Structure 1
């Protein structure tokens, strides 16, 4: 009887070993397939393989990270976000997971969340401090941006970039002061320069210089102050397209169409940028739709 029981237990252990090995082999096969498909930019097939991996190892955070990447490479940021967050919940200090989540938040224009992640990364690596500065600037928190820049200057970090960003903060503060002065002067019926035109000149100057990051910052500032000006939506869309932020570009440009009043030239300009944005998103049908609108206007 003892001999029979021992044989039964050994058989169970052997079967378990075989099953475990089979699962490991299947996991490796699906994982390598996902890497191969990602390498040739076939992201849907990569995701399919990764989901098979997830069935075999549901708590493997590397699979969550890879799923997030494959969704993000398709500009599907909403789908990518929870996978990055789950990976980070299991490995909170992982630089690659945090960096991917940072990109995901930035592409959704979730600046507050991006600042949280960038702050964590900046504690690990001083190279992220300039990224955090840019996020403060985009969030119009110029005091925090300048404070961090002063700290970086004292530590000798990224000296040339610090000087550049300090100039940017000063310029944006001057633009704000100009707008404030205009409001105050207008209430007293004092004639001064039109701040809307000043914004346009500043944005177009950055466009000529191909400084598209700067162009994006100033056009965003202009839109915050004058949200019914369709030209600012167009100019911000141009900057976003140049920076290959196509999802954000098409959202801004389509919003701008709602403020157009009988301006065919600007309308066609916006349509042109929408064609560019949708081509960047590999949405050929929408690109064709806006191209047809241009043709109809001509």
Structure 2
């Protein structure tokens, strides 16, 4: 009977458990007593349980399984299926008891144990999950990593580190285990232990770049700058072609007042295809600040910016635009802001800079056209109405200017400076229309606001 049950499970896509030896049944032999009827009834009920579960009638599936158990309570899979149905019905107490019953009848069944482990994890019963996953460790080493993660959750950090050390020794370092390890060090404040672990890795694997990089980062985080600098230089000796190490070296060189070396490292970072745009932006920002204090190195900055002029990173291009704006090189600033806008057309700050630069550089056709487009996107932003009005005045279209400026006035909230600018532009518009009375009215309003401030 039991063998037939497992054949049914296989047919319905449920895993067969090959670890268990079941009694053999001669299916060709006709029953010579009432046992045959019992067996048929059992199989009929089990089939019904699977069918009802398949169409999500979990309560009916439970009823059928309980009737199966009345006929033969020695079949472990009945309790396993019962537990899964109870979970679907959110009868968690009954689900736990059913899964535990299945395991008691077949203690080495990995699938039963894994189901109970998953149940405990879903219920956040981590202590019970630990007991269960300890039984699963003998099946796969992956469960050992799960055990370490559970120890982290229950704050049993010593046990967790012990397991992580064992796994690292057996399988080598992994990103996932390092993440757990760092969680532990952060939670316990054991930074010295963290550094010792990394120092040992460098000593054991002197050719592995990632070990040095992690150690440099942790030294820096722990304010051990000299050790971090020495480790970075040691990495460069071992791997002269390393590009990522320059993310640390440029900063150390700057702090050490070694401008030439710092600039050399910065250029390597900017050119490197291995380094992410976000990291390059940070270096470029530092580069800009450095040149701001040391203008004799501006040619090096120009060279570095040329390397990223084709960058697809809006932040990098915006940062360069801000630098040239601060240097009052407005044409160059506009060039970078326009490039940034091609990548991120919705960036409000960049839009604002571009439009203001169009006005400053007397590109009034572009200012009018672009500000008109932007007003459709940001209809409640008075600045864009003002820019559009200024451009229209300069293009000798005063009637359109008055219309757009008076519309924009309605959106000004507690900004006297902008209100003054609007009144001055309206005064210009009405002056161009030869309406001297209105021109004077708006001019007087502007002066009155200036006086009150």
Counterparts in 2 of 1:1-298, with a 5 A limit?
A: 17-156=32-171, 159-174=174-189
CA distance in 2, matches of 1:109, 1:81: 13
Which whole-Å CA distance do the structure 2 matches of 1:115 and 1:61 have between them?
23
What SS does the corresponding residue of 2:138 show, helix, strand or coil?
helix
> Residue 73 of structure 2 aligns to a residue in which SS?
coil
The Cα of 1:154 is off from its aligned counterpart by 0.9
- Cα 1:105–1:161 change in 2 (3 A) is same
Work out which of the two has the higher radius of gyration on C-alpha atoms and give 1 or 2. Answer: 2
RMSD value over aligned CA atoms?
2.3
1:263-293 Cα offsets, whole Å, 9 max, x none, are xxxxxxxxxxxxxxxxxxxxxxxxxxxxxxx
Superposition deviation, residue 15 in structure 1: 11
Q: CA 1:157–1:127 in 2, change beyond 3 Å: closer, same or farther?
A: farther
* Cα distance between partner residues in 2 of 1:171 and 1:19: 68
Secondary structure class of the residue paired with 1:109? coil
Q: 1:58 offset after TM fit, Å?
A: 1.5
- TM-superposed deviation, 1:16: 7.4
For residues 163 and 88 of structure 1, the distance between their equivalents in structure 2, rounded to whole angstroms, comes to 34
**Cα 1:174/1:36, change in 2 over 3 Å:** farther
Give me the whole-angstrom Cα distance separating, in 1, the residues matched to 2:149 and 2:56.
Answer: 30
In 2, the alpha carbon distance for the partners of 1:28 and 1:158 equals: 51
**Unpaired segments ≥5 residues, structure 1:** 1-13, 176-298
Going from structure 1 to structure 2, the CA distance change for 1:158 and 1:73 (only over 3 Å counts) comes to farther
Unaligned 5+ segments in structure 2 are 1-28, 191-453
Once residues 17 and 65 of structure 1 are traced to their aligned partners in structure 2, the CA distance between those partners, rounded to angstroms, is 32
Distance (Å, rounded) in 1 between the aligned partners of 2:30 and 2:93: 42
Distance of 1:155 and 1:124 partners within structure 2: 16
Work out the CA distance in 1 between the residues paired with 2:61 and 2:95.
14
Q: Which has the higher contact order (CA 8 A, sep 6+)?
A: 1
Q: Contact 1:111–1:139 (CA<8 Å) still a contact in 2?
A: yes
How many residues are aligned here? 162
- Do 1:77 and 1:107's aligned partners in 2 also have CA atoms closer than 8 Å? no
- After TM superposition, the score normalised by the length of structure 2 is 0.34
1:158 deviates by 7.8
Question: 1:69-112 CA deviation, whole Å, 9 max, x = no partner?
Answer: 11112332211111111111111110011111112223333322
Change (3 A) 1:157 1:118: farther
